[in-house]
Amino acid sequence: MSKRFLHALPPEVFLAMIQVTQAPQSPVLVQQQFTISGIASPTYAGRTLALTVDNQYNAKGPAIDTDGNWTIGFLFQQAGSRRLKIAIDSESAEVVVQVVTTPPPPANRLRFITVPQPITVGQTFVFTGEADGYANDAQLLLRADQKYELARPTVQVGKWQAVVGFNQAGSRLLEIIGAGQDRAQVTITVTGTTPPRSPRVSFTNLPQGVRTEQVIVLQGNAAGYSDGAELVLRADQRTELARPKVQAGQWQTTALFHQSGKRLIEIIGSEQDRAQITLDVQAAPSSLQLFPRTAWTTQATPTSLPDLQPQRITLHHTTFTALAVNASQAQEVARMQSLWSSNVNGNGWSDLGYHYIIMPSGRIYVGRSERKRGAHDVINDGLGIAFDGLYTTATITNQQFQSAIALCTQLCQRYGFKDPVTPVPTPTADFGTRNIPLICGHRDRVATACPGSEGGRTVRLAEIRQTVKTKL
């Protein structure tokens, strides 16, 4: 699980001995996996919950954990207002879930108010708008043509303002972008003559023998830029790799590629100031069956998310009903898309909460960019790896186990985690400071049943730690 629900649930889901603590608060799609979690009296530990759908369909639920926690992974095949009853003996709780065939349109909280006209090349103009429900100092992104960052205005008393200029004439699409899928668009016409200009940014000292999963250094010059000016490093005209800052007319950053092939790399200073190179990225010999983010989505991780310097690795389970070990890649891609929809449309997050998902087949899918802070254990100071499936009582597959060892070994080497076994003082969300190893479970830091049984037995957490240590 990747989020604690702190808001109140409807009164009808609370009863004395069995209580729902997490349930969908917005409509879910037909055949979209979702989770319901709760707590029961510890006297019921080991007992199995009974499920009743719409007062007529009966199903067997999960067993109650030793601490009374329980989690149900569920989906509905038909739309409507669906009632799910969770019971044990004479105690029960009910949850009503709204199931729809198409996603509800997101509420648009961002708007343009002032759009100046006429707009000419080479001059600056003030754009203003509203940002309903955003806190003061929340940062937005103003973008042109879905690729050029113009400004990052902050919200003040529900409003935003940005001063921008344009160096390129023509019809321009402007977007103001906030959290998740919250954005507004307006089309403007910029008149005038686009002045010729030589690029001021460039690449120098290009790396040789670039391989996937290998951190490389890219660097170059940025003539005429002030110290602290931010550039954008992008791959294939769509995937942001880094935002290096200029120092003394130069820039430098690290980059990592999950996908091999000829990659078009750009360093961008403005809409007209950019330099390009092509890197021939070779596939590194590896036992990992790792698939890049582009295998399941065309959307990149939002650039507005906070940066991450990983301090540890946290293991999770998705709580979705596990796919078969021999599931096709097409089924796994559909699962990744369902996970993204659950996190973004269900939880209201900006992106998938985990950095990696390990399928029962052992195939690994890249989720949120490693460069960006995740949404998986409240504190989110580490990399989130989720085993797809529900492992409250079931155990991960051997394929998942082997892939977890290979992935965790690679990440420990990449970020300098030399000892994944010895406990170290670690801040937690619910237990103060605890001594926890650098490879930990979600429940080590948060009051949750994720990633399964206590001590991580069902995800073989102790074995993963020990085996990774032998490989470092």
Q: In order of start, what are the domains of the chain with their CATH numbers?
A: 11-100 (2.60.40.10), 110-191 (2.60.40.10), 201-281 (2.60.40.10), 290-471 (3.40.80.10)
Q: What local confidence, expressed as pLDDT, does residue 13 receive?
A: 37
Radius of gyration of the chain (CA): 24
Three-class SS string for 234-266? EECCCEEEECCECECCEEEEEECCCCCEEEEEE
> How many Å apart are CA 211 and CA 282, to the nearest integer?
5
Using pLDDT thresholds of 50, 70 and 90, give the confidence band for residue 192: confident
Token digits of residue 418: 């030399």
Q: What local confidence, expressed as pLDDT, does residue 198 receive?
A: 66
Q: Is the pLDDT of residue 4 over 50?
A: no
Q: What local confidence, expressed as pLDDT, does residue 286 receive?
A: 75
Quick one: which of 347, 444, 450, 447 has its CA closest to 7? 347
**Overall average pLDDT of the 104-118 stretch:** 82
Q: What is the DSSP letter of 294?
A: G
The pLDDT tens digits for 202-223 are 999 999 999 988 889 999 999 8
Contact between 463 and 338 (Cβ < 8 Å): no
Q: What local confidence, expressed as pLDDT, does residue 272 receive?
A: 67
Listed in sequence order, the residues at least 6 apart from 287 whose beta carbon sits closer than 8 Å to its beta carbon are: 402, 406
> How many Å apart are CA 363 and CA 401, to the nearest integer?
11
Decide the pairing of beta strands 383-387 and 356-358. parallel
The pLDDT tens digits for 317-334 are 999 999 999 999 999 999
The pLDDT tens digits for 351-372 are 999 999 999 999 999 999 999 9
The pLDDT tens digits for 147-158 are 777 888 999 999
- Looking at the DSSP bridge assignments, the partners of residue 35 are 73
pTM above 0.85, yes or no: no
